[in-house]
Amino acid sequence: MLRILIADDEAIIRLGLKKILEEAGHKVVASAADGKEALELARSTSPDLAILDIKMPEMDGLEVAEILRKVNPMPVIILTAYGDRELVDKAREAEAMAYLVKPVKEAELLATLEIAVKRFEEWERLRREKEDLEEALRTREIVEKAKRLLMEKEGLRETEAFLFIHRLSRDSRRPMKEIAQEIIERYGD
């Protein structure tokens, strides 16, 4: 069961979507008539997914998607009456997980929900993996710099310098990055 936010300026569309989603076992936790209200409701209800119309008063759905991506990441499905290339490109730039053109069929909507959630989970997994790899690279660069300083200042071979850092890390139960940073600060560079 997904907790879903719907934002569309047409009440009849919101009601129709709510009916489809709830009959499929999902919960519509918020329903907004404009973009500004959608953002406020997203903050207060923490939905799992947002279905946003593009053309809405106050703030359009693409702006809402862009803000949500930065402050409250979740899968976003754009549901609109407009299928022109420019809007599709803007939806892609806002990192929407799907783009549906009204009128949408029930089966199409439900399949899109499932795919959008899986795509978002994969996107988030890749983002976390990228952050972990970047951190590992930063750590390696710092350890390499500390090793080089130990080799230059203490006359250690590369393996000895690495083992020295590793042993200090293990014995003090602190990350190698921290130990390496202290070595860099001590010897300066």
Integer Cα distance of 107 and 139 in angstroms: 48
Say if CB 117 and CB 3 are below 8 A apart: no
Task: Please tell me what DSSP assigns to residue 84.
Answer: -
Flag whether the pTM goes above 0.75: yes
Beta strands in the chain (DSSP E): 3-7, 27-32, 49-52, 76-80, 98-101
* Tally of CB atoms within 10 A around 77: 25
Map out the domains of the chain as residue ranges: 3-104, 130-187
Token readout for 5 is 């936010």
Integer Cα distance of 59 and 170 in angstroms: 54
Task: Please tell me what DSSP assigns to residue 102.
Answer: S
Same fold flag, 3-104 and 130-187: no
Partner residues linked to 46 by β-bridges: none
Q: Report domain 130-187's class.
A: mainly alpha
What CATH number does the domain located at 3-104 have?
3.40.50.2300
Integer Cα distance of 43 and 63 in angstroms: 15
Integer Cα distance of 10 and 170 in angstroms: 62
Average pLDDT per block of 10 residues along the chain, 189 residues long: 96 96 97 96 96 93 93 93 88 92 94 96 95 96 95 93 94 95 88
pLDDT of residue 189: 61
pLDDT of residue 188: 77
pLDDT of residue 56: 92
pLDDT of residue 143: 95
